[in-house]
Structure 1
């Protein structure tokens, strides 16, 4: 069984759900308390033991690469002003992990974005994390998946339970529960099923562990709606070819590419922040003394 050393993070999307805020700023660089969203994603990868990140970027995303790079001018200014703590924090960020960038020249879908990493990944299994899917958990979600991989040795998709009326918003997994806790053998995948066409509430989130055969499948996948190469179609084919597992991770997941999900993520992170947490919780209590449902701005 090959060790998983690399993670792909697609960050080429336009972030239209956050316009006008994302007109000139990548959505992945929107701040959650004191760090951009993408840093939380990369830190999860690092905490899981991954050695290299491949960013799938597009035009206008250079701020993401710059964020993880060393800035000599800024470091010099901070040094002159004796801002040692800030220098240490920036040094930590720029040395988190080895990062490679690959440009996706045309917006041809998530499947195509992952396919763009084929030459960097080679013949190795790898992780995929969506750049705006934030998971808060005691053990990193990726680490949970890697631990399961050591038992099953095949592709894994992370899932969460969603209300049945929301299944039409997700890729949905159908499968049989196994003796391994929180684990299912995938029998079928459906992308945003119409109401009544699936009785499963297991929704795929932005964490995948994939075998390298996915690249060959993606390379021959016919573009679907909007001319995009859909990842779910390729995952279904991979599951038939080699088998696939779904894992119901432990933790809280936020879609930080959605306005409400982004706000929820900010509140969660702020409430547990080592220096801001206590005063922020007090602020919430002050403005919502009877519960936030009754609060009026």
Structure 2
């Protein structure tokens, strides 16, 4: 049985790269094939055995959580129409997991968003998922990480090799290899210039975190724009706890950018074509 029973989905971002549509539609609700992007994150979490999910959202983004709430009016209509298959789909959404929400008053960074979930997570380890990163994988990526955790208990970050010239877009780890595709993290650098990067292993949107991260987050000084960086808190955790990173089997799409979202839709359209 996994120690991990809870997950947090960080969905507080403003989605400015998708304006004007994100003025009224949260980017997490943009469609990927016939489902909103955020549903892929929820499916990955529940397929990894985690059934308690907290959304961190901004005010005005309630539709992200409402999508997974029961809708008695719609269900009544579908029953009256005898549309059993649509009814199954609609009912299935709210039954996927136990959902709760906390509000992020301003986009003050991923560390700030994670810290807001302290109350719903409590004193236990949890998974943190960024729904922008949709990962097409045979085995859910979170499940791959939980397997690594069994062999290397500690905080686990998901990493992917990036092009050396792209290190400025990511948190980059300084690490030594402990097993194929698994690294012991010695340090983290947020968005280094290529010449300053300790490696080309970029942190992507999945984390398995121990509850001590909340105390570490409370000690982090806000950086530029008042943002609290999760990487700074993980750096503090390194003083007392092991932090590992693992690579994954699968293809990652950054649906937080218009070009990444289009690439994901093209890939899914291709998968759905009768071959």
Same fold (TM over 0.5): yes
Q: CA RMSD in A?
A: 1.3
- Structure 1 segments (4+ residues) deviating >6 Å: none
Distance in 2, matches of 1:183 and 1:2, equals 19
Is the counterpart of residue 22 in structure 1 residue 22 in structure 2? yes
CA contact (8 A) 2:166 2:194 kept: no
Q: Shift of the alpha carbon at 1:2?
A: 7.3
CA contact (8 A) 1:175 1:184 kept: yes
CA contact (8 A) 2:174 2:185 kept: yes
Distance in 2, matches of 1:199 and 1:117, equals 31
Is the counterpart of residue 87 in structure 1 residue 87 in structure 2? yes
Aligned to 1:78: 78
TM-score, reference length from structure 2: 0.97
Q: Show CA shifts across 1:239-275 (max 9, x none).
A: 23212001011111111111111011111222223xx
Distance in 2, matches of 1:240 and 1:252, equals 33
Number of corresponding residues: 275
Q: Shift of the alpha carbon at 1:237?
A: 1.2
Aligned to 2:206: 207
Distance in 2, matches of 1:158 and 1:146, equals 11
Q: Show CA shifts across 1:70-92 (max 9, x none).
A: 11111111222222111111111
Helix, strand or coil at the partner of 1:53: strand
TM-score, reference length from structure 1: 0.90
Aligned to 2:218: 219
CA contact (8 A) 1:2 1:125 kept: no
Q: Shift of the alpha carbon at 1:99?
A: 0.6
Aligned to 1:188: 187
Distance in 2, matches of 1:96 and 1:270, equals 25
Q: Shift of the alpha carbon at 1:143?
A: 0.3
Distance in 1, matches of 2:38 and 2:161, equals 24
Is the counterpart of residue 246 in structure 1 residue 234 in structure 2? no
Distance in 2, matches of 1:36 and 1:204, equals 24
Helix, strand or coil at the partner of 1:7: strand
Distance in 1, matches of 2:203 and 2:131, equals 15
Aligned to 2:130: 130
Aligned to 1:38: 38
Q: Show CA shifts across 1:93-115 (max 9, x none).
A: 12111111111123221101100
Aligned to 1:156: 156
Q: Within 5 A, what are the aligned runs for 1:109-124?
A: 109-124=109-124
Distance in 2, matches of 1:128 and 1:78, equals 35
Structure 1: which 5+ runs fail to align? 282-297
Is the counterpart of residue 255 in structure 1 residue 246 in structure 2? no
Helix, strand or coil at the partner of 1:138: coil
Distance in 1, matches of 2:238 and 2:258, equals 33
